[in-house]
Amino acid sequence: MESLALAFSSGWASGVNSYLVVLVLGIADRVGSFDSVPDVLGRWEVLAVAAALYAFEFVADKIQYVDSAWDVVSTAIRPVVGGVLGVLVAGDSAALDELVGGTVGGTSALVSHTVKTGTRMAVNTSPEPFSNVGVSLGEDVVVLAVVWFAVEHPVAAAAVALVLLLLGLLLLWLAWRLVRRGWARLRAWRARRGGSGTRALT
């Protein structure tokens, strides 16, 4: 159960920022030697690559429109990382099949990645860039907190990740309703202006 919970939590977090998840789990293995964290994540080469990629994503994720382009690229990365982490976590447990762990991690990563991508596209409809920075920093803090908490309390962290996932889906639905309503009002306003201009010419 704990391995399944950690696979879910790390998968959810990977859908938001996969490199930060690998980095946090690797550091946890280095400083704490937690049995739940696969030792391969604590290798120096893994930590170096994860740190470099996280540094790149840290910048790209806070630039308007660049973040959405990076999310599109990451569609092929984040669910895979979540699935691999699930397999690694399950591989260290005799009570959980690796296939189940990979499926749980990959699925939760795919859903949370979808929520992140859709939410960022909605945020990008705002003309100012500060909301992107705020949302990105908030995501980093939440991922860091959930993954570190999951190392010591995997079941409780999985419950938190599930709540965040459901809230994210609700937020995405509300955001896109507002965006669609805004576009509808803009089209109606343009149609009225166009009609007024035509009547003025006649």
| Cα–Cα distance measured from residue 105 to residue 67, given in angstroms and rounded to the nearest whole number | 23
Check: CB of residue 2 under 8 Å from CB of residue 155: yes
The Cα-based distances of 40 to 45, 85, 89, 104, 158 in angstroms read: 10, 11, 11, 20, 22
In the chain, what are the domain boundaries?
A: 2-201
Q: Give pTM, 2 decimals.
A: 0.79
pLDDT tens for 128-139 read 677 888 888 998
pLDDT averaged per 10 residues, the chain (length 202): 84 91 91 82 92 93 86 88 86 59 80 84 73 86 92 89 88 75 67 60 50
Q: Which pLDDT score, from 0 to 100, does residue 56 have? A: 93
What's the pLDDT at 37? 85
Sign of torsion, CA 139 147 155 43?
Answer: positive
Task: Please tell me the predicted confidence (pLDDT) of residue 92.
Answer: 52
Q: What is the pLDDT of residue 46?
A: 92
